Chains A and B, each alone.
Chain A
Amino acid sequence: MKTWKIILLIIVAGGLLAAILGYVFVYNKAHRDYERARPDMALSASELYQAFAINEKEAEETFINKVLLIDGTLAGVEQPADDMVVLSFVFAEGFFGGEGVRCTMLPSQHDRALQLSAGDQVVVKGLCTGFTGTDVILEHASFESETIR
Chain B
Amino acid sequence: MKNRAILVACLLACMHLSASSQVYLTRNGTIRFFSEAPLENIEALNRQVMSALNTETGEFVFRLPMRSFAFDKALMQEHFNDNFVESHKYPNATFQGVMEGIGDIDFDRPGEISVVVEGELTIKDVSKNIRESGTLHIHEDHLHASAEFIIAPEDYNIRIPTRYARNIAREIEVFVDVNLRPQ
Contacts and interface: CB of A to CB of B under 8 A. Distances in A.
Nearest to B40: A27
13 contacts: A28-B75, A53-B4, A57-B3, A64-B91, A95-B8, A96-B52, A102-B27, A130-B65, A132-B64, A133-B50, A135-B27, A137-B68, A139-B48
Given A30-B74, A96-B25, A132 B50 contact: yes
Contact of A84 (B8, B28, B66, B92): B28
B1 A54 contact: yes
A98 B46 CA distance: 22
A31 B17 CA distance: 43
B11 interface: yes
The secondary structure that dominates the A interface is mixed
B91 A130 contact: yes
Contacts of A129: 48, 65, 67-68
Contacts of B81: 65
A31 B91 contact: no
A139 B4 CA distance: 22
A137 B65 contact: yes
A81 B50 CA distance: 15
Interface string B64-107: 11111000011101000100000110011000000000000000
A129 B88 CA distance: 10
Contact of A53 (B1, B15, B74, B92): B1
A56 to B, nearest CB: 5
A135 B27 CA distance: 9
A130 B11 contact: no
A139 B68 contact: yes
Given A53-B4, A97-B183, A130 B67 contact: yes
A104 interface: yes
Interface residues of B, number: 34
A52 B74 contact: no
Contacts of A31: 74, 77
B4 A27 contact: no
Contacts of B88: 61, 64-65
A143 interface: no
A86 B81 CA distance: 24
A127 B106 CA distance: 42
Interface in A70-129: 80-81, 84, 86, 94-97, 102, 104, 129
B27 A96 contact: yes
Would you list the 8 A-B pairs with minimal beta carbon distance, nearest first? A130-B65, A80-B28, A129-B67, A132-B50, A31-B74, A129-B68, A56-B3, A53-B4
Contact of B68 (A32, A52, A81, A130): A130
A134 B50 contact: yes
A60 interface: yes
A134 B88 CA distance: 19
Interface in A32-62: 32, 52-57, 60-61
Contacts of A28: 73, 75
